């Protein structure tokens, strides 16, 4: 008998970060996750996570809107439907609702987790099978203090946690940001790669000046220097400089990826399940990039363990991630809500094993950190 989706519960979970995390648009001291618990008529529960950065500072979805829209609009479209018909369920959500990609990603994750548990298979197997079980992970240096960032980088190297680093810039004048980045790269030398994320903070003229200086300083990759909708400007920057450009907010899904590739963009795409509405959508984007010869990077919206595990299952199916991943979200949080944290070692993270996502909730921790009202 085909199992039906019986109920969908959402919880807001607030977890403090280990230090302030400074970006161009906000500084985070806490991460709020929307945890989805999807229960089917056969007793199987699937877990999902919807997470964004800084409330509404990053994009059009906030944790509160993700929860409300799932509860009021998306969940009613799924309840009572066959739980194992993922393609039909994705089409149903797309037909009746617009946008809300983070919310849809959380629901798709929960559906895949439940189906994996039902079949006794990991999510990666549902996507065609893992090609790698240990994925490289960089660390973002975002304290805003140069000396502190250098110390933090050397500690991560010493612990064999990370050997590549990303710097969040764009909140300060361009010369000050360049000096900060250059000092860190000089201190690290050849021991580690350094890249930057501008988070759309510059206009194109400022980007030309800033990227020229960053290229001279030996920076390996420039992420989203200008606003997301300025595709033509991003293509011009990719042609102008030797240092590769990484498109992030500019490339949400396969259609964006096709448009950039057709326009002559070269460099890399940041993949994020939250941007693309889930694991299937992000893999569609990855396949467009591969066909166009564009590099891949496994990105994050600083998800906790559930969302990070979902992303890892998707990345593990890909043949190559030329620029690695940034799946460090759980390490940025002071605590966790799962029984067994992800295993980070040797400059990377292990793909979780077991059916579904391979993670189980710690009910006491979940109750402690869940928002009460």
Q: pLDDT-based confidence at 24, cuts 50/70/90? A: low
Identify the bridge partners of residue 222 per DSSP, sorted by sequence position: 196, 245
| 5-120+363-369 CATH choice from 3.40.50.300, 3.30.390.10, 3.40.50.720, 3.30.200.20 | 3.30.390.10
The DSSP symbol for 70 reads: I
The sheet carrying 295-298 orders its strands as 139-141, 164-168, 193-197, 222-223, 245-247, 267-271, 295-298
Tell me how far the alpha carbon of residue 182 is from its chain's centroid: 26
What is the predicted pLDDT for the residue at 22? Answer: 73
Mean pLDDT of all residues belonging to the chain: 95
Which residues are designated catalytic?
168, 326
Q: For the chain, what percent of residues have pLDDT higher than 90?
A: 92
Q: pLDDT-based confidence at 1, cuts 50/70/90? A: confident
* CATH 3.20.20.120 placement within the chain: 126-350
**Residue 332: is its pLDDT beyond 70?**
yes
Q: What angle do CA 19, 22, 23 make, to 5 degrees?
A: 150
Q: Is 306 helix (H, G, I), strand (E, B) or coil?
A: helix
How confident is the model over 39-57, as a mean pLDDT?
93
What is the predicted pLDDT for the residue at 54? Answer: 79
| 126-350 CATH choice from 3.90.550.10, 3.40.50.2300, 3.40.47.10, 3.20.20.120 | 3.20.20.120
CB 267 within 8 A of CB 296: no
What is the per-residue pLDDT across 112-147, written as a single tens digit (0 to 9) for each?
Answer: 999 999 999 999 999 999 999 999 999 999 888 899
CB 238 within 8 A of CB 244: yes
* CATH 3.30.390.10 placement within the chain: 5-120+363-369
Nearest to 108 by CA among 31, 44, 49, 32: 49
What is the predicted pLDDT for the residue at 333? Answer: 96
Residues sharing a CB contact under 8 Å with residue 98, sequence separation 6 or more, in sequence order: none
The sheet carrying 45-51 orders its strands as 5-22, 27-40, 45-51
CB 23 within 8 A of CB 85: no
Task: Output the six-digit token pair for 237.
Answer: 């920057």
CB 220 within 8 A of CB 181: no
What is the predicted pLDDT for the residue at 23? Answer: 72
What is the predicted pLDDT for the residue at 56? Answer: 83
Q: For the chain, what percent of residues have pLDDT higher than 70?
A: 99
How many other C-beta atoms can be found within 10 angstroms of the C-beta atom of residue 102?
30
**Residue 359: is its pLDDT beyond 90?**
yes
What is the per-residue pLDDT across 201-248, written as a single tens digit (0 to 9) for each?
Answer: 999 999 999 999 999 999 999 999 999 999 999 999 999 999 999 999
How confident is the model over 260-275, as a mean pLDDT?
97
**Residue 47: is its pLDDT beyond 80?**
yes
Q: pLDDT-based confidence at 17, cuts 50/70/90? A: very high
How confident is the model over 312-318, as a mean pLDDT?
98
pTM: 0.95
Q: pLDDT-based confidence at 27, cuts 50/70/90? A: confident
Least confident interval from 24-33, 65-74, 293-302, 303-312? 24-33
- As a whole number of angstroms, the distance between CA 40 and CA 363 comes to 19
Locus of tokens 């500084």:
27
**Residue 28: is its pLDDT beyond 90?**
no
């Amino acid at each position: 008998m085909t199992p039906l989706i019986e109920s969908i519960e959402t919880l807001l979970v607030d977890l403090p970060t280990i230090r302030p995390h400074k970006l161009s648009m906000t500084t985070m001291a806490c991460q709020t996750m929307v945890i989805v618990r999807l229960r089917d008529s056969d007793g199987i529960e699937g877990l999902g996570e919807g997470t964004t950065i800084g409330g509404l500072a990053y994009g059009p979805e906030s944790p509160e809107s993700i929860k409300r829209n799932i509860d009021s609009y998306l969940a009613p479209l799924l309840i009572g439907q066959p739980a194992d018909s993922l393609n039909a369920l994705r089409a149903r959500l797309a037909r009746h609702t617009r946008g809300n990609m983070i919310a849809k990603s959380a629901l798709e994750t929960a559906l895949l987790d439940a189906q994996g548990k039902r079949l006794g298979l990991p999510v990666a197997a549902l996507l065609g099978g893992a090609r790698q079980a240990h994925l490289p992970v960089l660390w973002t240096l975002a304290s805003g203090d140069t000396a502190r960032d250098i110390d933090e980088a050397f500690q991560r190297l010493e612990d064999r946690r990370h050997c590549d680093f990303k710097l969040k810039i764009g909140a300060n004048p361009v010369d000050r940001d360049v000096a900060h980045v250059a000092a860190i790269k000089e201190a690290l030398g050849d021991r580690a790669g350094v890249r930057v994320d501008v988070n759309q903070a510059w206009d194109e003229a400022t980007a030309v000046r800033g990227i020229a200086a960053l290229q001279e300083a030996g920076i390996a990759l420039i992420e989203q220097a200008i606003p997301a909708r300025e595709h033509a400007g991003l293509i011009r920057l990719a042609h102008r400089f030797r240092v590769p450009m990484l498109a992030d907010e500019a490339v949400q899904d396969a259609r964006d990826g096709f448009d950039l590739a057709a326009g002559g963009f070269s460099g890399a795409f940041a993949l994020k399940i939250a941007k693309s509405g889930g694991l299937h959508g992000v893999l569609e984007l990855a396949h467009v990039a591969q066909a166009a010869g564009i590099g891949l990077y496994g990105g994050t919206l600083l998800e906790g363990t559930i969302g990070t595990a979902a992303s890892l299952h998707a990345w593990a199916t890909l043949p190559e991630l030329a620029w690695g991943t940034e799946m460090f979200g759980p390490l940025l949080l002071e605590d966790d809500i799962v029984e067994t944290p992800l295993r980070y070692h040797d400059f990377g993270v292990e793909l979780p094993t077991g059916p579904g996502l391979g993670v189980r909730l710690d009910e006491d921790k979940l109750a402690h950190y869940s928002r009460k009202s």
